[in-house]
């Protein structure tokens, strides 16, 4: 089965069957509890689609989704739901043909997948660089201690001649 999409709201425009026919696996949620359970599922959601949510605590649904998931959010605005469209990654206007919104959703899912892959790559590189940096700091501290020890030995051998006290301070 294809990418998993969570649909939240009432499907009066029959988008869920269209998404299924396009090959997506759909979790159809019509309550906050169902949404919460679907978001916490072991199978990662690749997108969360919201439509006709005015009677379903839409702001709470947005907050829960953002708190639990990094999946992009898609809004099919409908009715008088008081939703800030800027909280969504994609807003699909009414009367947009299914071919167009299916393509838009597929593009969004692909972009997010690519960004996640880049993030994981950058994170792995960052971990390596932080480790290399920590190793370099440890080596530098060790070499500074060795240098201080050698300076002290040389001072003892030479009876203090030729070694400046401020050079020792610089090593600390």
Taken in order of first residue, the domains within the chain and their CATH numbers are 4-96 (3.40.50.2300)
Residue 60 gets the label, from left (phi > 0), alpha (psi -120 to 50) or beta, of alpha
Look over the chain and give the mean of its residue pLDDT values, rounded to a whole number.
86
pLDDT for the residue numbered 119? 79
Position 159 scores a pLDDT of: 73
Q: What percent of the chain has pLDDT over 90?
A: 49
| Residues in CB range of 128: below 8 A, 6 or more apart | none
pLDDT of residue 26: 96
Residue 162 is encoded by which pair of tokens?
């030729």
**Cβ atoms of residues 114 and 96 within 8 Å:** no
* pTM summary value: 0.69
> Would you place residue 72 in the very low, low, confident or very high pLDDT band (cuts 50, 70, 90)?
very high
The predicted structure's pLDDT at residue 129: 87
Using CA atoms, how far residue 70 sits from 29, 42, 73, in Å, is 18, 14, 9
Q: Which of 71, 62, 19, 1 is nearest to 41 (CA)?
A: 71
In contact, 71 and 65? CB cutoff 8 Å:
yes
Residues contacting residue 150 through CB under 8 Å, at least 6 positions apart:
none
- Confidence at residue 28, expressed as pLDDT on a 0 to 100 scale: 94
């Amino acid at each position: 089965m294809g990418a998993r999409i969570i649909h939240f709201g009432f499907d009066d425009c029959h988008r869920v069957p269209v998404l299924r026919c396009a090959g997506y696996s759909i979790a159809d949620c019509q309550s906050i509890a169902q949404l919460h359970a679907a978001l916490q599922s072991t199978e990662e959601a690749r997108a969360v689609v919201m439509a006709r949510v005015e009677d379903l605590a839409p702001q709470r649904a947005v907050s829960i989704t953002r708190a639990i998931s990094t999946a992009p959010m898609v809004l099919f605005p409908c009715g008088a739901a008081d939703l800030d469209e800027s909280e969504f990654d994609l807003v699909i206007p009414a009367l947009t043909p299914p071919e167009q919104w299916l393509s838009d959703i597929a593009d969004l899912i692909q972009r997010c997948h690519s960004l996640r892959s880049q993030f994981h790559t950058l994170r792995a590189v960052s971990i390596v660089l932080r480790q290399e940096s920590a190793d370099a700091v440890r080596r530098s501290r060790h070499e500074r201690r060795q240098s201080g020890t050698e300076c002290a030995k040389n001072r003892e051998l030479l009876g203090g001649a030729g070694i400046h006290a401020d050079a020792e301070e610089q090593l600390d």
